[in-house]
Structure 1
Amino acid sequence: MARNILVVEDEQKLNKLISDYLAQEGYNVTSVFTGKDARRVLENQEVHLIILDWMLPDESGLDICREVRSDQGTPIIMLTAKSDEFDKVMGLEMGADDYMTKPFSLRELAARVKVVLRRYANHSTENSTEDEIIRHGDILVDLNKHSVYIDGNQVKLTPTEFKLLAHLIQKPGRVYSRLQLLETLGEAYEGYERSLDTHMSNLRKKIEKNPNKPKYIITVYGIGYKMEENADENPKD
């Protein structure tokens, strides 16, 4: 089944280039130029991925990103003319799954679209017939329903955050290098180690009582991360 992609970009020429290229790749593409029209589409049709410009004529794309993340799990790739590291981190903290700085290659954009959609599909209940639930400390992860509960309260994670948590929690105590985690996400791009650290930071904020002294996701300095094996012990510094 062809995936539905919403392109939200106010530069008409770029919007058309992106839309036409992705349509040639076999996607169903809906193209809009404002935040208002993006909301209208999201309210009236199923969207599997959003390509979202940071600066729109009527509002910031970050506002739309934040709202989408609070209401649904639709993955988002942010587009922006901003290249500063702070801006990239801000976009990821708002819940974007990926980030591309203009100008960019349409071929690379299409590759990243495939990566994000594949990552999201890996957690779809369409591919599962039995529930698989993992409990670790106060965390409960339902792998098939893509749900996470802390102390019985559901927390909303982005597809990237969920995949990282699901990967770590299945083997508590095992140390994963940053490269191994990036390969799990399908993100073998230069510079993605910083993005990984940001995703981990965001994940900690959602599952840790004190993100500065994590109980679950532990940084193994110089290597990567692990899920604390003895989660009932005192939090690590």
Structure 2
Amino acid sequence: MSNYIGLVEDDPNIQNIVSAYLKKEGYEVAVKGSAEEALELWQSNPPDMWILDIMLPGMDGYEFCKKIRNGSDVPIIIISAKDDEIDKILGLELGGDDYLTKPFSPRELIARVKRLFKRTALMAKPKETDDNKVKVDHLLIYKDERRIFWNEDEYEVTTKEFDMLELLAENANRAFSREELLVRIWGNDYFGSDRAVDDLVKRIRKKIGDIPIETVWGYGYRLRKEED
């Protein structure tokens, strides 16, 4: 889980205070003054967590929370001047993960943000079974979840990028010809050029800069394994 937070709050003072505390803790923050602006952010660059005021101009926070929850499990912390129990229950029933009543301590908010990120990361942790994972030095692949980690950082990859990495990792140090890779990744019925293999490897190298996929000149590629 990364650390990108969307703050939806129309009070400039609260915007400044909360965003300052979040940035001090190392979080990236996008501040929006209305739910409508936040929905545009959700479409273009969705945050990893929302901190959401209820009383907003236009669409209120409850409606925004419902829209987000219908399409995402991203954590949502509701902050509101409404301190009635019914308001808290409604916010949580609509999909909020936490509810903080104004005025609140910024330090308490930070503690809740950290707790939610930690809980979400634990829930998203892949299954640790030998059949499910392939590990080659600093490369870790979870096959069932189709997730790629390099030096403990997760990378988003395409279907064929994943298939290539899985094949090379399961056969570390073995050299594959371009023709064999073409068949194994694209299938027997693919009639394109083996340049597709070179282009795929190029994209993987660009995405995961120091991954040790070696070119076997005049033949193909292999993934070098250094550790026993």
TM range (shorter): 0.5 to 0.7
- Per the alignment, residue 23 of structure 2 pairs with 23
- Supply the distance in 2 between the matched residues of 1:24 and 1:107 (Cα, whole angstroms): 11
> Residue 5 of structure 1: SS of its match in structure 2?
strand
Q: What letter is aligned with 2:42?
A: L
2:28 is aligned with 1:42: no
- Supply the distance in 1 between the matched residues of 2:60 and 2:46 (Cα, whole angstroms): 22
- Supply the distance in 2 between the matched residues of 1:119 and 1:46 (Cα, whole angstroms): 19
> Residue 50 of structure 1: SS of its match in structure 2?
strand
Q: CA RMSD in A?
A: 1.9
Q: What letter is aligned with 1:88?
A: K
2:128 is aligned with 1:105: no
1:72-91 matches, within 5 Å, as 72-91=72-91
- Per the alignment, residue 5 of structure 2 pairs with 5
- Per the alignment, residue 61 of structure 2 pairs with 61
- Supply the distance in 2 between the matched residues of 1:31 and 1:72 (Cα, whole angstroms): 19
- Per the alignment, residue 32 of structure 1 pairs with 32
- If the length of structure 2 is used for normalisation, what is the TM-score? 0.55
Deviation at 1:118, TM superposition (A): 0.8
**Cα deviations across residues 115-165 of structure 1 (Å, max 9, x unaligned)?**
11111111225x445499xxxxxxxxxxx96xxxxxxxxxxxxxxxxxxxx
The percentage of counterpart residues that share the same residue type is 40
- Supply the distance in 2 between the matched residues of 1:78 and 1:34 (Cα, whole angstroms): 14
Q: What letter is aligned with 1:46?
A: P
Deviation at 1:47, TM superposition (A): 1.0
Q: What letter is aligned with 1:69?
A: R
- Supply the distance in 1 between the matched residues of 2:91 and 2:37 (Cα, whole angstroms): 21
Tell me if structure 2 keeps the 8 A contact 1:5–1:48: yes
Q: Which has the larger radius of gyration?
A: 2
Give 5+ residue unaligned stretches, structure 2. 133-143, 146-228
**Cα deviations across residues 16-57 of structure 1 (Å, max 9, x unaligned)?**
110111000000000010111100111111311000000101
> Residue 62 of structure 1: SS of its match in structure 2?
helix
> Residue 74 of structure 2: SS of its match in structure 1?
coil
Tell me if structure 2 keeps the 8 A contact 1:2–1:28: no
1:1-237 matches, within 5 Å, as 2-125=2-125, 127-128=126-127, 130=129
- Supply the distance in 2 between the matched residues of 1:67 and 1:35 (Cα, whole angstroms): 10
Q: How many correspondences in the alignment?
A: 133
Q: What letter is aligned with 2:118?
A: R
Give 5+ residue unaligned stretches, structure 1. 133-143, 146-237
- Supply the distance in 2 between the matched residues of 1:23 and 1:128 (Cα, whole angstroms): 32
Q: What letter is aligned with 1:45?
A: N
- Supply the distance in 2 between the matched residues of 1:66 and 1:46 (Cα, whole angstroms): 15
- Supply the distance in 2 between the matched residues of 1:98 and 1:6 (Cα, whole angstroms): 15
- If the length of structure 1 is used for normalisation, what is the TM-score? 0.53
Q: What letter is aligned with 2:70?
A: S
